[in-house]
């Protein structure tokens, strides 16, 4: 049920489309960073309250690092909001990151509408509308999937009126909330069943 709901999207009426083009023509590709290994993050755990989240392939940070001069010299720090595009695993999955400052791992891409299109694209709508389609364009399957940068750049997207995007974005955000609740409930039921089976077998 959750997968089916995640793959549903609202059809855009032709008369509401105001722009179309490739991802490369509508979005800027921002810098990601190499060298953010588990070992590096473990040995550079934040020691101050002023820390930067590090994102890899989902909207949940894989870690944090101090917002220090040494970090600024070694890694590219970006300003949100922006779109995170997973490059590996669930390749193509889109997430909206709204942190004021953040770092992107090499397993993902960060994109943001070009200045001339920024006011025309609602990020929540774009992520909700195109995430399943982008994931369908990956190479390989979940867990070993890859989403090459050049493939992402060539995908053609349509952009409807902003008012329509905002209406749909609310529904997409609600859809994500329902799917998350469903997944949590499913996991809780599975845990209770496993506990009941263990008790019955003792």
* Cα–Cα dist 129/160, whole Å: 11
Q: What is the pLDDT of residue 143?
A: 58
Q: What is the mean pLDDT of residues 33-43?
A: 90
Containing structural domain, residue 142: 2-201
* Cα–Cα dist 107/88, whole Å: 6
Q: What is the pLDDT of residue 99?
A: 94
- Phi, psi torsion values for 48, nearest 5 degrees: -125, 170
Q: What is the pLDDT of residue 3?
A: 53
| Residue the block writes with tokens 């989403």 | 147
Q: What is the mean pLDDT of residues 106-134?
A: 95
pLDDT of 202 higher than 80:
no
CATH number at residue 70: 3.90.220.20
Q: What is the pLDDT of residue 142?
A: 54
Q: Which DSSP helix (H) or strand (E) runs through 113?
A: strand 108-113
Q: What is the pLDDT of residue 150?
A: 93
pLDDT of 4 higher than 60:
no
* Cα–Cα dist 113/125, whole Å: 13
- What is the value of pTM for the model shown? 0.84
| Residue the block writes with tokens 């949590």 | 184
**Number of independent structural domains in the chain:** 1
* Cα–Cα dist 164/168, whole Å: 6
* Interstrand relation of 51-55 and 88-89 (parallel, antiparallel or unpaired): unpaired
Supply the mean pLDDT for the chain.
89
Q: Tens digit of pLDDT for each residue in 6-34? A: 567 889 999 999 999 999 999 999 999 99
Peptide bond into 81 cis (omega under 30): yes
Per DSSP, the three-state class of 167 is helix
DSSP state of 75: S
Q: Tens digit of pLDDT for each residue in 141-200? A: 655 678 999 999 999 999 999 999 999 999 998 887 887 787 777 778 877 777 777 787
Confidence band for 1, pLDDT divided at 50, 70 and 90 = very low
């Amino acid at each position: 049920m959750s997968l089916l709901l995640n793959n549903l999207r609202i059809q855009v009426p032709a008369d509401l489309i105001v722009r179309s083009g490739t991802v490369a023509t509508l979005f800027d590709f921002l810098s990601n960073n190499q060298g953010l290994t588990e070992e590096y993050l473990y040995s550079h755990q934040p020691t101050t309250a002023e820390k930067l989240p590090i994102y890899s392939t989902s909207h949940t940070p894989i870690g944090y690092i101090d917002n220090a001069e040494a970090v600024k010299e070694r890694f590219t720090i970006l300003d949100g909001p922006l779109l995170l595009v997973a490059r590996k695993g669930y390749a193509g999955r889109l997430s909206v990151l709204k942190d004021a400052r953040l770092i992107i791992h090499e397993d993902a891409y960060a994109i943001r509408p070009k200045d001339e299109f920024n006011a025309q694209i609602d990020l929540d709508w774009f992520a909700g509308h195109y995430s399943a389609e982008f994931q369908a364009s990956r190479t390989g399957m979940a867990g070993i999937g890859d989403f090459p940068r050049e493939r992402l750049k060539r995908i053609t997207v349509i952009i409807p009126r902003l008012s329509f995007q905002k209406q749909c974005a609310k529904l997409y955000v609600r859809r994500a909330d329902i799917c998350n609740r469903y997944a949590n409930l499913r996991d809780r039921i599975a845990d209770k069943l496993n506990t009941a089976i263990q008790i019955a077998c003792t």
